[in-house]
Amino acid sequence: MDFNQLSLYVQKGNGAKVKEMVSEGLAQKADPTEILNAGLIEAMAVIGEKFKNNEIYVPEMLMAAKAMNAGMQVLEPVLTATGVKPIGKAVIGTVKGDLHDIGKNLVRMMLKGAGIEMYDLGIDVPAQAFLNKAQEVGADMVCLSALLTTTMPYMDSVIKEFDKAGVRSQFVFMIGGAPVSEAYAKSINADYYAEDAVVAVDVAKKILAGKQ
């Protein structure tokens, strides 16, 4: 199987070709883990690097992430069946009062592409829902997104909810969104601030490497 070609299709955002190649690779008995690492994850690493260097922008990154997701749809059931474990689990959502989801969706797809099992709660998510889901799935990380200055304070409410339940120390909190900053993350006792999806992946990998 030509992993380079698969990686190129992902980078170009050609979801149909990615799906086709992954299906063909599996039919030819290619190693599903290798398809994941050498094809899909490798492609997203290249995309991440290009984004950092301003060679591409959010629309191209979104297209690549969608193409990677198309491949993951075919690959995931096989990986699960062969017992390949994700590198960690994360709950993600846009906080209560906020209906923006493009940034959150991009982070979710990029983290999924890095081998993390993602639980997306969607938009307008109350604190209790984050707490319930994080405990239910045994998440390592909780990722909070807010795109409005008016909804940003609700991130604090979410973390306080975990505090009240006495489980704050069991989870790592990563926050992001246009109005959010490193200083704000510190002020609400969040562990990390990610300025974009590429940084989110770097941070998540570091966190999970430390947990293994």
pLDDT in tens, the chain (212 residues): 999 999 999 999 999 999 999 999 999 999 999 999 899 989 998 998 999 899 999 899 999 999 999 999 999 899 888 888 889 999 999 999 999 998 899 999 989 888 899 999 999 999 999 999 999 999 999 999 999 999 999 999 999 999 999 999 999 999 999 999 999 999 999 999 999 999 999 999 999 987 75
Q: What pLDDT shows up at residue 212?
A: 57
Spatial CB neighbours of 187, under 8 Å, sequence gap ≥ 6: none
Compute the distance between CA of residue 56 and CA of residue 7 in angstroms, rounded to an integer: 16
Q: What pLDDT shows up at residue 80?
A: 81
Compute the distance between CA of residue 32 and CA of residue 100 in angstroms, rounded to an integer: 34
Give the position of tokens 């890095």.
114
Compute the distance between CA of residue 197 and CA of residue 212 in angstroms, rounded to an integer: 22
Angle CA 10–56–66, to nearest 5: 35
Write down the pTM of the prediction: 0.83
- Ordered strands of the 88-94 beta sheet: 116-120, 88-94, 141-145, 172-176, 192-193
Structure tokens at 69: 């997701």
**Nearest CA-CA partner of 197 in 77, 26, 60, 88:** 60
Which residues on neighbouring strands pair with residue 173, listed in sequence order? 142
Structure tokens at 119: 């639980």
